Amino acid sequence: MGSGPLNGVRVVELAGIGPGPFCAMLLADLGAEVLRVDRVEAVDLGIERDRQFNLLNRGRRSVAIDLKDPAGVEAVLRLIDQADAVIEGFRPGVTEKLGLGPDVCLARNPKLVYGRMTGWGQNGPLAHAAGHDINYIALTGALGAIGSAGGPPVPPLNLVGDFGGGGVYLAFGLCAALIEARGSGAGQVVDVAMTDGSASLMTAIYGLFASGFWTDQRGQNVLDSGSHYYGCYECADGAYISVGSIEAKFYAELLEKLELTDDDLPGRNDRDQWPDHREKLTKLFLTRTRDEWCELMEGTDICFAPVLSLAEAPNHPHNKERGTFVTYDGVVQPAPAPRFSRTPGEIQRPPANRGEHTDEALGDWGFSADERARLRGAGVIGG
């Protein structure tokens, strides 16, 4: 059992990629016992790497079970009988064909919360089409809103679809349904689509757009590099800084530190002036190095921070004092989040090799030694 507010919650994860494993990692970091069901055979996903670097798989044990074998399906159903929740990330209808669909699982375990993670959702004209993060956020307007004026949309890594609109919403949905099930005694299906999640993340922007404050053109708005007081600037050493002086009092402090006045940059919210103001600030920030700007501005109310690389971020004093990054199993990685005052989460264990804990975990979940030997002899389990 791990520490954390989800201690005592049991989850069966049908192995997938991206948002499903990320959700499982979040739950495990907060103390849930998550058992990952991997395939018996290896699958080439084009992103293979040594076990310890597969950070989305941290915190949980792995069992290898053949889901194409009826005995393997029955073994997984026995695990699900004991679980509070299930995570699956296949295309719609796949688990039904395997015999592991929600109707079957809920009939056996009425309090089960069955979490489904897809890109397009369980229904709709695109439901059965292949896709990736970039496609899902393209459909919801999120991708089209990100980028500079005159340039193409810029994919924000795969943070908005896979992890934000997908994995986090799945974790949120599962936790909400688990709370409800404890009161009602009835489980349910949680249908999480990255299109729905990324659209939800855009709620505030859609409100601004409806009000007329936000234009549908990239790079013309306060938060999308249109304004001169919210964006990134290159420094004399080629490094970058970020400035977010949206509010008037923060903007006033920015001008003071830069030894400028309103006359130097007239019309703070005059969009016609923004390109000229950005050009002036671009030239000004090029006169000093990033460290020099940090010495002048970091810790003030300008709303300022250096733009750090992946290598630099774990060593920043603020991140070090907060413990935002940890070294675990020899790998520097983000620590569990969020923080809890009484039941803190923690990384429960390093990422597992496929099927590494098959015998151990199945034994803990009620499979006798004879059953495990029989299943292994028939090729139903591996690892």
- Mean pLDDT in runs of 10 for the chain (383 residues)? 88 96 98 97 68 95 97 98 98 97 98 98 97 98 96 97 98 98 98 98 98 96 96 98 98 97 94 96 98 98 98 98 97 97 96 96 97 97 90
- Structure confidence at residue 43 (pLDDT): 66
What torsion do the CA atoms of 348, 351, 353, 359 make, to the nearest 10 degrees?
Answer: 10
- Structure confidence at residue 272 (pLDDT): 95
Structural domains of the chain, count:
2
Whole-structure pTM value: 0.95
Q: Same structural domain for residues 170 and 62?
A: yes
- Structure confidence at residue 48 (pLDDT): 61
- Structure confidence at residue 20 (pLDDT): 97
CATH of the domain at 155: 3.40.50.10540
Q: Same structural domain for residues 287 and 362?
A: no
- Structure confidence at residue 44 (pLDDT): 61
Q: Same structural domain for residues 142 and 245?
A: no
Residue 211 falls within a domain, yes or no? no
Q: Same structural domain for residues 237 and 301?
A: yes
State which residues form the domain around 244.
Answer: 230-315
- Structure confidence at residue 382 (pLDDT): 93
Can you tell me the distance from the alpha carbon of 365 to that of 82, in angstroms, rounded to the nearest whole number? 8
Residue 207 falls within a domain, yes or no? no
Q: What is the set of active-site residues?
A: 132, 162
Residue 144 falls within a domain, yes or no? yes
Residue 214 falls within a domain, yes or no? no
| End residue of a domain, out of 267, 285, 315 | 315
Q: Same structural domain for residues 23 and 171?
A: yes
Residue 182 falls within a domain, yes or no? yes
- Structure confidence at residue 252 (pLDDT): 97
